[in-house]
Amino acid sequence: NAGVTQTPKFQVLKTGQSMTLQCAQDMNHNSMYWYRQDPGMGLRLIYYSASEGTTDKGEVPNGYNVSRLNKREFSLRLESAAPSQTSVYFCASSDPDRSDQPQHFGDGTRLSIL
């Protein structure tokens, strides 16, 4: 079972470049999330999509945009990358209609901004 798939796994960018991180889930979940994880800071929510067609800001949305392309896919875009965006990015999905179900995470995209 694939679960949550993130691409790419690694990326190096120069300051000012743009890129899109891709995320797809095959569990038919309604909700999807983007987090970033930095040393000493833990996982912080960037954006989430409670259902297809909706997106909302999380704790640290500045410098990012998201698109919920369809029920399966949720992308994160950096329009003009900055060194402060060097981080590990995790996508997750869940089915909140079932409160006993947890969020499922991908294995992350490791992004370095030079």
Partner 1 sequence: EDQVTQSPEALRLQEGESSSLNCSYTVSGLRGLFWYRQDPGKGPEFLFTLYSAGEEKEKERLKATLTKKESFLHITAPKPEDSATYLCADPLPGYALNFGKGTSLLVTP
- The residues of the shown chain that bind partner 1, judged by CB under 8 A, are 4, 31, 33, 35, 40-45, 48, 50, 56, 58, 90, 92, 94, 96, 99-100, 102-108
Min. distance of Cβ 22 from partner 1 in angstroms? 15
Closer residue to partner 1 (CB): 4 or 111: 4
Give the residue with the Cβ less far from partner 1, 16 or 96.
Answer: 96
R_g of the chain, CA atoms, integer Å: 13
Nearest approach in angstroms of CB 107 to partner 1 is 5
Cβ 40 to partner 1 shortest distance, Å: 7
